Amino acid sequence: MTKPLIIVESPTKIKTLTKYIGTDFKVAASAGHIRDLPIKTLGIDVDKEFKAEYVNIKDKSKVISNLKKLAKNTTDVYLAPDPDREGEAIAFHIMDILKKKGRKFHRVLFHELTKKGIKEALLSPGDPDIDKYDAQQARRKLDRLVGYQISPLLWKKVQRGLSAGRVQSVTVKIICDRERQIRAFEPEEFWTIDADLTAFNPPGFKAALVKINNKKIRIENNEQASQIVLELETAEFIVKDIKAKTIKKNPLPPFITSKLQQDAINRLRFSAKKTMVVAQQLYEGVEIGNGGPEGLITYMRTDSTRIAQDAAIEAQDYITRTLGKEFALDEPRFFKNKNKVQDAHEAIRPTSVFHSPDKIKQFLSEDQFKLYELIWKRFVASQMAQALIDQKTIFIQAGKAYLFSVSGSTVKFAGYMAIYSQQKESKDNDIQSLPDVEVDTLLKRLAILPKQHFTKPPPRFSEASLVKELEKNGIGRPSTYASILTVIRDKGYVDLVKRYFVPSELGFIVNDLLVESFPNLLNISFTAKMENNLDDVETGKLKEVQLLTQFYCSFKKSLDDAGENMVSVKGVGVDTELACPTCGKELKIKIGRNGHFLACIGYPECSFTSNYTRDEKGTLSIVEKIVDNTKVKDCIKCNKPMIQKEGRFGLFLACTGYPECKHTESVNGENSSKDIGVKCPEKGCKGAVLEKKSKRGKIFYGCSSYPDCSFASWDKPVAKPCPECNASFLVEKETKKDGKFLKCPIRECSFKEFE
């Protein structure tokens, strides 16, 4: 009898699975999705209940062929892609290509890749979840309808290569809205007044003025501050009241996906994308010792704070053994989920707390160790005793009118803080130690310290705070945050400047056009409601077709209106309120092949164009062009003089024979390109490969002997011969599946070298 077949999503899981199931099963991997909507067409029939046209993914033919081969004569197929919506879609597509009379399909969910987790999943398989599959289908179709129907509109009205997305566009709007708040912000002056005091015994301390005549204060200018300081210079400072209390602090629950991303960004400086990649590695299995690979954490895409009873009990056992009974709980602590969170998966936790970070550090990469330690500490801390903090506040009367206060705290019992210090508690180090004083104690005034301040605008979003904002507003799902943040940067809508998101000029232009034409689609509450509707599809409360019909009815109307009425930045341009310095007519922002620029509406009579800049308030300024008429060199094409000019990509040399001769060069000639240390591979050529920029600013690699040699490559050549076919160089490649690697440029040669 043929062995049953287990099909997982990731090839890296195969080794971990095989370790525990031995030879009782055949195991194969789909390497992600095997079918999807077609690339070149919409692939959705909106007139036939949004029926999707699925096709096999082009480079998955070998995978599909292998799955069919392994499934031949097999009666039982266990579908084990990841336990989420995407995994369910993969399971259904595998089932579709392997369907055969008499063959049975079983859905198994590996929440953790351990002996116990794998055994339990195989002993209690279920049926593929049609509602979860429909929810994934609904999301995929929504994203396709939006992306494939708005993007061509942007190509026509703005420039080719742009894209819109149901969630990505709302994310860009959030960033643009925040930037406009910052630009519109007007700082307001205010002052604070502190007093350096001592009780004639150390330590000295600093108290803040909090009330005048029993009213909260706002000191608006130097004059007010100076008057108060003058009165305080002669006032007696006497302890009026002392309030002391012990605060009980509870630990945070174990990580859900969004909170893990936020903490990893803040504490480890990981990006959201990197966090998920490393977490996937820890989930799928790591070699620890000679026992083979083992999954170190539970599934990392979850909104639930639920933990298994046996995991909580194991944590209590570990805490008692290693830290002492006083740090453990009498009963495990469990956390309630918020709102409509789906409870299919546990929170992210170590599969065994006895795999302490220090114990397995030698088997992990640096990044794996850092993230695992974060997950492990958060989980263990969640099962530890409360921290007890003694807090004391001293109120000080100065004269008749002024009240100062100062607070200090000490840790009475560290509790969970012995393992994991929450972010807010890191500020406790800045809280002062206070002297032992009693009510009516006279204090000595050392100095009165007035200080000027200005209110600050709301901060720009970091990756962590943007993830938090998306989560707070119910936009997208934690599993999609990393890809959203990557896409909006790759498309050039935002830049990450000093770890904060700043919208680009293109981002503002596209955002404003979409907000004008698709107000519902760019509405935060509308997007959040759509996420709730998708959850309802998953739970069977709403049918996929109902959701799509409701959405598409209004969307199609907006789409048709936008086709007629959306402003063409290519043609009409964006208003600026700037006057042309040549003819006085209005300047508008337009976008051409080489980016955005200012152009006069008087064209062709007035051909004025210019680069522009914006100040912190968003005000536009014309960038004066640099034209140096001093002859630099003779043109290599026509021998006429070349002069220096400034274009949208900076300074360049232009032939004075224009328009008959259109030859241009970089300011320092061709040699200003970067030499990467690789000889040109073309036979008989003595040139070197240089890093260059295309007209659109994209990096490519070409020969220094151009135009005599036409060698060019988008992939970076590396001075390393191919060991299989003896090609003179390899090229650098990077994919989501394999990461960075070297590859032979010869199509017929399959050599790859991984880092």
CATH number of the domain that residue 82 is part of: 3.40.50.140
Higher pLDDT among residues 425 and 554, named by residue: 554
The domain of 326 spans 257-382
Using a 10 angstrom Cβ sphere, with 0-12 exposed, 13-18 middle and 19 or more buried, the burial of residue 309 is exposed
What is the three-class DSSP state of 616?
coil
Residue at 154 is within a domain:
yes
Say whether both 116 and 12 belong to one domain: yes
Task: Label residue 95 by pLDDT band (50, 70, 90).
Answer: very high
Looking at residue 429, what is its pLDDT?
Answer: 46
User: Last residue of some domain: 565, 592, 616?
Assistant: 565
554 contact partners, CB below 8 Å, separation of at least 6: 520
Residue at 481 is within a domain:
yes
299 is catalytic: yes
Looking at residue 673, what is its pLDDT?
Answer: 59
Say whether both 368 and 398 belong to one domain: no
Q: 620-647 pLDDT, tens per residue?
A: 888 766 566 666 778 888 888 888 776 5
For the chain, percent of residues with pLDDT exceeding 90: 55
Asked whether the beta carbons of 517 and 566 are under 8 A apart, the reply is yes
Say whether both 19 and 52 belong to one domain: yes
Q: 430-445 pLDDT, tens per residue?
A: 567 788 889 999 999 9
Q: Which helix (H) or strand (E) holds 555?
A: helix 544-565
Task: Label residue 367 by pLDDT band (50, 70, 90).
Answer: very high
Average pLDDT, the chain: 87
Looking at residue 730, what is its pLDDT?
Answer: 87
652 contact partners, CB below 8 Å, separation of at least 6: 644, 645, 646, 664, 665, 666, 667
571 contact partners, CB below 8 Å, separation of at least 6: none
pLDDT of 704 over the 70 cut = yes
Residue at 49 is within a domain:
yes
For the chain, percent of residues with pLDDT exceeding 70: 92
The least confident of 167-176, 193-202, 247-256, 369-378 is: 193-202
What is the mean pLDDT of the segment spanning 235-243?
96
pLDDT of 648 over the 60 cut = no
Residue at 133 is within a domain:
no
Number of domains in the chain: 6
Residue at 159 is within a domain:
yes
User: Last residue of some domain: 454, 480, 511?
Assistant: 454
- CA-CA distance, 176 to 503, in Å (whole number)? 6
Q: 111-150 pLDDT, tens per residue?
A: 888 888 999 999 999 999 999 999 999 999 999 999 999 9
User: Last residue of some domain: 382, 407, 431?
Assistant: 382
Top mean-pLDDT range of 221-230, 494-503, 612-621, 670-679: 221-230
Say whether both 265 and 325 belong to one domain: yes
* Helix and strand element counts for the chain (H, E): 17, 37
Say whether both 644 and 717 belong to one domain: yes
Q: Which long-range contacts (CB under 8 A, 24 or more apart) does 537-540 make?
A: 537/131, 537/134, 537/135, 537/138, 538/85, 538/131, 538/132, 538/134, 538/135, 538/342, 539/131, 539/342, 540/131
Task: Label residue 108 by pLDDT band (50, 70, 90).
Answer: very high
- CA-CA distance, 202 to 212, in Å (whole number)? 28
Say whether both 277 and 372 belong to one domain: yes
What is the mean pLDDT of the segment spanning 216-239?
95
- CA-CA distance, 227 to 207, in Å (whole number)? 19
Q: 4-33 pLDDT, tens per residue?
A: 999 999 888 888 888 888 888 999 999 889
Asked whether the beta carbons of 733 and 715 are under 8 A apart, the reply is yes
Q: Rg of the chain's alpha carbons, rounded to an integer?
A: 32
Higher pLDDT among residues 646 and 401, named by residue: 401
Sign of the four-CA dihedral 479, 485, 486, 487: positive
Which one of 20, 283, 299, 372 is the catalytic residue? Answer: 299
Q: Considering only the C-alpha atoms of the chain, give the largest distance between any 2 of them, rounded to a whole number of Å.
A: 99
Say whether both 640 and 679 belong to one domain: yes
Residue at 592 is within a domain:
yes
Looking at residue 424, what is its pLDDT?
Answer: 45
Looking at residue 450, what is its pLDDT?
Answer: 96
Looking at residue 696, what is its pLDDT?
Answer: 53
Say whether both 450 and 464 belong to one domain: no
Sign of the four-CA dihedral 219, 221, 224, 226: positive
Say whether both 374 and 307 belong to one domain: yes
pLDDT of 680 over the 90 cut = no
Say whether both 240 and 283 belong to one domain: no
Q: 588-604 pLDDT, tens per residue?
A: 988 876 678 889 999 88
What is the mean pLDDT of the segment spanning 203-232?
94
Higher pLDDT among residues 56 and 727, named by residue: 56
Looking at residue 625, what is its pLDDT?
Answer: 66
| CATH code of the domain in which 405 resides | 2.70.20.10
Pairing of strands 494-497, 500-503: antiparallel
What is the mean pLDDT of the segment spanning 101-105?
92
Q: 530-581 pLDDT, tens per residue?
A: 989 999 999 999 999 999 999 999 999 999 999 999 988 877 888 888 999 9
Residue at 27 is within a domain:
yes
Residue at 649 is within a domain:
yes
Looking at residue 154, what is its pLDDT?
Answer: 92
Looking at residue 725, what is its pLDDT?
Answer: 76
| CATH code of the domain in which 280 resides | 1.10.290.10
Looking at residue 745, what is its pLDDT?
Answer: 84
Q: What angle do CA 392, 393, 396 make, to 5 degrees?
A: 140
pLDDT of 425 over the 60 cut = no
Say whether both 604 and 661 belong to one domain: no
Looking at residue 613, what is its pLDDT?
Answer: 83
Say whether both 261 and 377 belong to one domain: yes
